[in-house]
Chains A and B, each alone.
Chain A
Amino acid sequence: MLITCPYCGARDAHEFTYLGDAELIDRPDPAGPEAEAAFHAHVYLRDNPAGPHRELWYHGSGCRQWLTVTRDTRTHAIASVVAAARPEVAR
């Protein structure tokens, strides 16, 4: 499986580490009213869809960027790869 890293270009997936659903980007507000429920959902609950999935990969053996990859879990076809950092604050 090739992941086209925006910095490095197409690289074999074995250069990357997979973390899981890209919702892990959105860490809940620990001071929020339902923080415990929100963290429970954030840490544990997943859509786990059969279809397009936004997910986090770390290019640890390359440029060391965290990437958000949109990949179809039925076919492994990758629709997009972007830096995981929120664009407004990315480099």
Chain B
Amino acid sequence: MLDKVEMKAIVEGLLFISGEEGIDEKQIADVLQIDILSVKDILRDLIDQYTDQSRGMQIVELAGVYQFTTKQDHAPYFKRLINSPNSATLSQAALETLAIVAYKQPITRAEIEEIRGVKSERPLQSLVSKLLIKEVGRVEGTGRAILYGTTKDFLDHFGLKSLQELPPLPEKDDDTSLEEADLFFQRFQQNLVDN
């Protein structure tokens, strides 16, 4: 049997890894094999601990789901991180979105969100404002959703002559799917022969 200190540490870890999806009391109860009441008790303790001003995160509850979030007060620093000229890198969200647009264009926002599993309006906006993607058309019919595609700036930026020069996307997992790998090597060898 775990003691309470240990259980609290594990719950802290669970909250951490469950990220923006959060975790509910029942999931915690299942993992620790304790009852819901004890879970509530541990969560209350943890929430108290994090309320302290000296902490960088807080635990919030939304519809029975608990998650760590950052503090509103620190927003200016996160802004500085993402907008700093040294790290003028694209965010993970923007890079993911860009990869999807590059390989699947023309594509709508809904389709991108389907692949990413999260809302993607902001990364799309940020890519449009950086002139890496643009509207390339509209879906026929009702709604007439915007279709996105990459721009010439996109090619310039990544040093590509054309979209054909995009490297192949990584396979999902190749050790397990040997057939895929086999196909790859057939094509690979074909290429060698052709060139």
Question: Does B associate with A?
Answer: no
Name A residues whose Cβ lies closer than 8 Å to a Cβ of B.
Answer: none
Name B residues whose Cβ lies closer than 8 Å to a Cβ of A.
Answer: none
